[in-house]
Chains A and B, each alone.
Chain A
């Protein structure tokens, strides 16, 4: 069973996940094609972040199947490290390593995990930081950077691993409105370059603009999905309508 680029790069089938008594994901299925940008939106506690964390095996699932490039993620025999090299993730709280500079943050994983040549990695790290418009911030420590700058370092850090898919977990939720924009611009550029992106977000305007497909989740279920134009203008489910009326 080899994977070809015309098959879904991420395929989630009937996934169920609970923490003790609390069922977070009931029965979730969705497919992501290569190069596609999908946004998952929904009220707090609807299992959006959990879903993302299941994709790179940070959290195990109870039932169902998730495949990334044809590889079953929750196969106990799977090499999780190999999977995570293909799937980059950016977090709400940036989670930069505070004892390393911006440049070192970007360089660490390729050197430690991929055992790449240090000089080459350094050169690429400079390019990546330039790409996220942080030229000149290389020697700064995370504590010296603003939230938006830290988040862009985090994006560059993930990109340094050359992932095939990027997961964004509410990456703008901890930012103030002015810096949200600079992070969103970076993500949009990535999407335009053809990177497969999965975003959990509360930025409806952004979702409408960049997403190829939008999923609305509530209480661990995908209630409604569709391309942005249909989703925002012709929502059918009452829960979606209520949510959209509160947000928009």
Chain B
């Protein structure tokens, strides 16, 4: 056995490209390697992917039932003191006002962030070094800051009202929170745009150039339309991440679902057995909203990858 390892049979010794140097430099595997490399680059620029699975939801729901049962066993089950009955009383407030505000914040922040992010992303591929540099810096700054810190900054830096002449415009907290959330979204969308533009094969630029397209025409008519398709799945992924992050602003007193849940618990005399069912209920709601988005993202990704 030992002898076999020390002196491998001659025919086993040399496998060009595996045991020894390749005997040919024919670019046989180049297209495949380029494809894999491009995918890896995309994954890096798109950040992490939300991996929601159906059993996560089922697990949450079972937990919710379990704790509701435990809580129900602990208290005297008169009708209006029951756990489910209590929860039922608060649902219109928590969902109808709170969760709806979460959604409004997520929509608005996503719209603002996308608009600003696309501009910033185009700035990152500008030919002017100043524009490119400052766009890159802005992107990195907001991409690598904790969301909570950004939120605090916006909350504290923006005034609570603006006076223009005689008109006083109040800026509600949730608006400030929306702006705060749109900043990291902007930075990540910017990175997404840059990555997508760079993932388009250089042959497309060359072909457009040789047909006398200007850079602007090339970008808007040839490059960006191809980018949109590639950007939709990661863009949806960022939306789901944003939605799940919106409860952070409850810390600033924005009356969204988590904040209202806390208030509801306080007005129910902070009964400890209500804690778990209420918060688990919130988790289930968020899951019900985000899970379809995550599934849709994955299926779109699969569909588009085939066409790459």
Hey, which bits of chain A sit against chain B, CB under 8 A? 56, 58, 80-82, 84-85, 87-89, 91, 93, 95-99, 108-109, 112-113, 143, 154, 157-158, 161
Contact = CB atoms under 8 A, between A and B. Distances in A.
B188 to A, nearest CB: 25
B211 A84 contact: yes
B210 A84 contact: yes
B113 to A, nearest CB: 25
A108 B217 CA distance: 11
Interface of B: 201, 203-204, 206-214, 217, 221-222, 225-226, 229, 307
Contact of B212 (A85, A91, A95, A97): A85
A43 to B, nearest CB: 12
A154 B229 CA distance: 23
A98 B226 contact: yes
Contacts of A93: 201, 203
B211 A161 contact: yes
10 contacts: A84-B209, A84-B210, A87-B210, A97-B204, A97-B208, A99-B225, A109-B213, A113-B213, A154-B207, A161-B211
DSSP class of B's interface residues: helix, strand, loop or mixed?
Answer: helix
A113 B207 contact: no
Given A113-B217, A158-B210, 13 more contacts: A56-B210, A58-B210, A84-B211, A84-B212, A93-B201, A95-B204, A95-B206, A108-B211, A109-B211, A109-B213, A112-B217, A112-B221, A161-B212
B203 A58 contact: no
A81 B211 CA distance: 8
Contact of B206 (A91, A99, A158): A91
Nearest to B203: A95
B161 to A, nearest CB: 48
A26 B207 CA distance: 26
Contacts of B217: 112-113
A113 B214 CA distance: 8
